[in-house]
Copies of this chain bind each other. A is one copy, B any other.
Amino acid sequence: MSRKIVIIGANAAGVHAANAARKTDSKAQIILIDKEPYPAYSRCGIPYVLAGEIPSFNDLTAFPPSHYRVMKFDLHLEAKARSINPNDRIVLVENKEGNIEALKYDSLILTQGADPFIIPIRGHDLPGVFAMRTMDDGKAIQEAMKTAERAIVIGAGFIGLETAHALAVNKIKTTIVEVVPYILPALFDEDMADYTQKKIEEHGVDVVVGKRVEAILGKDKVEGVNVAGEEINADIVVMAAGIRPRTELIRGLGVELGVTRAIRVNPRMETNVSGIFAAGDCVESQSSITGLPCLYQLGTNAVRQGTTAGINAAGGYAANPRVICSAVSKIFDFELGAVGLSEFQAAKVGFKTLSASITGKTRAHYFPGGKEVKVKIVAEPILGRVMGAQIVGGEDVAQRINMLSVAIQKEMTALELSTADTSYAPPVAETVEPVATAAEIVAKKIRRR
Q: Could you tell me which A residues sit within 8 Å of B by CB distance? A: 12, 42, 44-45, 48, 53-55, 59-60, 158, 298-300, 303-304, 320-321, 323-330, 335, 337, 339, 364, 366-368, 396-403, 405-407, 409-412, 416-417, 419-429, 431-433, 435
A424–B298 touching, CB < 8 Å: yes
- Give A301 Cβ to nearest chain B Cβ, in Å: 8
A235–B417 alpha-carbon span in the complex (Å): 47
Contact assessment for B325 and A426 in the assembled complex, using a CB-CB cutoff below 8 Å: no
The 7 closest A-B pairs by CB, nearest first: A399-B399, A410-B410, A328-B423, A326-B423, A324-B421, A59-B366, A330-B427
Complex: how many Å from CA A429 to CA B329?
9
Residues of B close to A326: CB separation below 8 A: 421-423
Nearest B residue to A405 via CB reads B421
Known: A368-B55, A420-B409, A431-B300. Is A426-B42 also a contact (CB below 8 A)? yes
CB pair B410–A399 under 8 Å, yes or no, is no
A129 to chain B, nearest CB (A): 25
Pick from B53, B304, B325, B416: contact of A367, CB below 8 A: B53
Query: Does the CB pair A425–B366 fall under 8 Å?
Result: no
Measured CA separation A422–B366 after assembly (Å):
31
Partner of A45 from the list B12, B367, B401 (CB cut-off 8 Å) is: B367
B403-A423 in contact (CB<8A): no
**Residues of B contacting A407 in the complex (Cβ-Cβ under 8 angstroms):** 406, 410
Find out whether the CB atom of A367 lies under 8 angstroms from the CB atom of B403: no
Asked if B399 and A406 sit within 8 Å, CB to CB, the answer is no
Closest to A288 in B: B421
A-B contact pairs, 7 of them (CB 8 A): A326-B422, A330-B428, A399-B400, A402-B403, A402-B433, A406-B420, A409-B419
Q: Roughly how many angstroms separate A299 CA and B421 CA in the complex, as a whole number?
A: 12
With A and B bound together, what is the CA distance between A328 and B48 in angstroms? 31
Whole-angstrom CA separation of A300 from B55 in the bound complex: 42
Measured between beta carbons, the chain B residues less than 8 angstroms from A399 are: 396, 398-400, 402-403, 429
User: In the complex, A328 Cα to B425 Cα: how many Å?
Assistant: 6
Q: Is the CB of B421 within 8 A of A42?
A: no
Q: Which of A55, A329, A407, A429 has the most chain B CB atoms inside 10 A of its CB?
A: A429
- Chain B neighbourhood of A405, CB < 8 A: 420-423
Task: Give, as a whole number of angstroms, the nearest-CB distance from A352 to chain B.
Answer: 24
Give me 12 other A-B pairs in contact (C-beta within 8 A), A54-B426, A339-B423 excluded: A45-B367, A48-B367, A59-B366, A303-B431, A303-B432, A320-B419, A328-B425, A328-B428, A399-B402, A400-B402, A406-B412, A407-B410
Greatest chain B CB density within 10 A among A55, A304, A367 is at: A367
What is the bound-complex CA distance between A416 and B324, given in angstroms?
A: 13
A435 closest partner in B (C-beta): B402
On whether the beta carbons of B330 and A421 are closer than 8 Å, the reply is: no
Which residues of chain B are near A432, meaning CB under 8 Å?
300, 303
Report the separation of the CA atoms of residues A53 and B406 in the bound assembly, to the nearest whole angstrom: 33
> A42 contacts which chain B residues (CB < 8 A)?
364, 366, 426
Closest to A320 in B: B419
For A420, list chain B residues within 8 Å (CB): 402, 405-406, 409
Return A145 CB to nearest CB of chain B, in Å: 19
Cα–Cα, bound, A402→B422 (Å) = 5
**For residue A304, which residues in chain B have a CB less than 8 angstroms away from its CB?**
419
Complex-state Cα separation, A420 to B397, whole angstroms: 16
A367 cross-chain contacts in B, Cβ below 8 A: 45, 48, 53-54
B396 near A426: Cβ-Cβ < 8 Å: no
- Complex Cα gap A348–B425 (Å): 27
Point out the residues of chain B lying under 8 angstroms from A303, CB to CB.
Answer: 431-432
Are A410 and B401 closer than 8 Å at their CB atoms? no
Nearest-neighbour CB distance to chain B for A159, whole angstroms, equals 11
Q: Is the CB of B427 within 8 A of A48?
A: yes
- Contact B410 A416, beta carbon cutoff 8 Å: yes
